[in-house]
Amino acid sequence: MRSFTILGVLLAAAGLQAQQAPEAWARYRVWAHNDAEIQKLSDSDFGLFSDFVGPVTDIVVKSSQLAELKSLGLEYAFVNLLEDPRDWAGKTIWSLDYRTAYMRYSDILAQYEAWRNANPKMISRQQIGTSVQNRPIWMYRLHGAISSDGSTPRFSVVFFAGIHAREWISEPVVMYLLDNLVQKSKTSPAIRQLLNSCSIYFIPVLNPDGYEYTWTNDRYWRKNRRSNGGGSYGVDLNRNFSKGFGGGGSSGNTNSDTYRGPSAFSEPETRALRDAVLAIPRVRGLIDFHSYAQIVLWPWGYTGSAPPTASELDRVGAIMQNAILGSHGVHYDEGQCYWVLYQASGVSMDWSYDLGVPYSYSIELRDTGQYGFELPANQIIPTQEEIYAAVEQFLFQLQSKY
Ligand SMILES: [Zn+2]
């Protein structure tokens, strides 16, 4: 840590001298030693380079913000220089193959539509809401022959991607879950039987405005695109749910990356998820996909108290963890959000668990920070495969229960 700190001071000095030059962007690591320090960082205007604020948090610092960073009074060190995220858009490798490159929102939807058109008896869709900027929010349903003939499935599961805009690996992972379940159902009796016992719902992108903004304006954008007034934009949708709303690990500062919004479900995107889940019969599982950290998380995030079914959440979480490890040998941590990650209040899985969805999880995908949100496209396929392995086990667990 010492060498990092010295380097940080040198680069900080260089940054200050270079203020007349084009602004430099850098990733800094901040160590917070107690709840008050962590909340101070959560309430700051600094953009996060982590998916959460905790004892060790990476942030995005422009050279013009170095004095502000120092004034926080927290221990910090330079990590590496970053490209200006506003220059990112033109350099993006664009593709229509969701396994080898990242895709724009319209192309993601076009791929889902191609799957729906190819499998009209198994896949249907509905619009569950409209974003702040009037983009449709879609949800796809996958079901086998029994549930498509009108009988009620034994249980339902909801998977969704992109609640945080910049976490691009979440979208192709959720796409692969649908695609591979459909493909495997053609050859695997076990998968066919699974799909005949449940309905599986997929939300391709819950925060389409933020997602598109990461392509066109700012690669590090996290929140939705609500105007908060005074030139401030965005609510952290994963701090906008009702359970634990307003607690630690969320902020009332509109400029904060963890700004929770004026009230629970103030945002059309979180209301879309809420209303969709409430309308689906027998929802027994929900997984909210994020990056980056490589962790299988379960409730609660808002408190360190154990949830009533902690041992069962831990059991199924460990099954997923082992399936991931067995796929490509990559280790993910596993555990209660509050203890493994840190306090986070108003998160989706706390809300769904409190609602009565017993298997509510959030999975932080690759990596652990080397590339962060800019996970290289050649890691899309292995990430898809390891998460499919975990989710297949997850579904079989639910099938054996319901
Ligand atoms: Zn996230």
Mind listing the pLDDT tens digit for each residue in 351-386?
999 999 999 999 999 999 999 999 999 999 999 999
Residues by chain with Cβ below 5 Å of ion ligand 1: 51, 164, 290
All CATH 3.30.70.340 domain ranges in the chain, comma separated = 2-82
What tens digit of pLDDT does each residue of 151-185 get? 678 999 999 999 999 999 999 999 999 999 999 99
- pLDDT value for 145: 60
- pLDDT value for 4: 45
All CATH 3.40.630.10 domain ranges in the chain, comma separated = 90-216+242-401
pLDDT at 19 over 50: no
130-154: b (≥16 Cβ within 10 Å) or e: ebbeebebbbbbbbbebbbeeeebb
Q: Residue 223 and residue 51: Cα distance in Å, rounded?
A: 11
Q: How far is the CA of 163 from the centre of ligand 1 (A)?
A: 7
Average pLDDT, the chain: 92
Does the pTM of the predicted model rise above 0.85?
Answer: yes
- pLDDT value for 7: 46
Mean pLDDT of 18-30: 79
pLDDT at 396 over 60: yes
Helical spans, DSSP H, in 189-309? 189-197, 208-216, 268-279
Structural contact between residues 228 and 260, judged by C-beta atoms closer than 8 angstroms: no
Q: How far is the CA of 253 from the centre of ligand 1 (A)?
A: 18
pLDDT at 90 over 80: no
**SS3 at position 284:** strand
Q: How far is the CA of 165 from the centre of ligand 1 (A)?
A: 8
Mean pLDDT of 118-130: 96
Q: Which fold has domain 90-216+242-401?
A: Aminopeptidase (3.40.630)
What tens digit of pLDDT does each residue of 230-269 get? 999 999 999 999 999 999 999 999 999 999 999 999 999 9
pLDDT at 18 over 50: no
Q: pLDDT band at residue 148, thresholds of 50, 70 and 90?
A: low
Q: How far is the CA of 94 from the centre of ligand 1 (A)?
A: 23
Structural contact between residues 332 and 325, judged by C-beta atoms closer than 8 angstroms: yes
pLDDT at 10 over 90: no
- pLDDT value for 108: 96
Share of the chain above pLDDT 70, in %: 91
pLDDT at 146 over 90: no
pLDDT at 316 over 60: yes
Active site positions, annotated: 364
pLDDT at 343 over 60: yes
Q: How far is the CA of 222 from the centre of ligand 1 (A)?
A: 8
- pLDDT value for 85: 84
Q: How far is the CA of 312 from the centre of ligand 1 (A)?
A: 24
What tens digit of pLDDT does each residue of 290-303 get? 999 999 999 999 99
How far is residue 274 from each of residues 206, 277, 290, 352, measured CA to CA in Å? Answer: 11, 5, 18, 9
Mean pLDDT of 325-339: 98
Give me the DSSP letters along 191-216. Answer: HHHHHHHEEEEEES-S-HHHHHHHHH
pLDDT at 9 over 90: no
Q: How far is the CA of 237 from the centre of ligand 1 (A)?
A: 9
pLDDT at 5 over 60: no
Which residues, in sequence order, are CB contacts of 119 under 8 Å at separation 6+? 182
CA dihedral sign of residues 194, 198, 199, 204: negative
- pLDDT value for 64: 93
A 10 A CB-CB count for 330 gives 16
Q: How far is the CA of 189 from the centre of ligand 1 (A)?
A: 35
Q: At the fourth CATH level, which superfamily is domain 2-82? A: Metallocarboxypeptidase-like (3.30.70.340)
Report the run of H or E that residue 297 belongs to, with start and end. Answer: strand 295-298
- pLDDT value for 150: 62
Q: Residue 197 and residue 396: Cα distance in Å, rounded?
A: 10
Q: pLDDT band at residue 2, thresholds of 50, 70 and 90?
A: very low
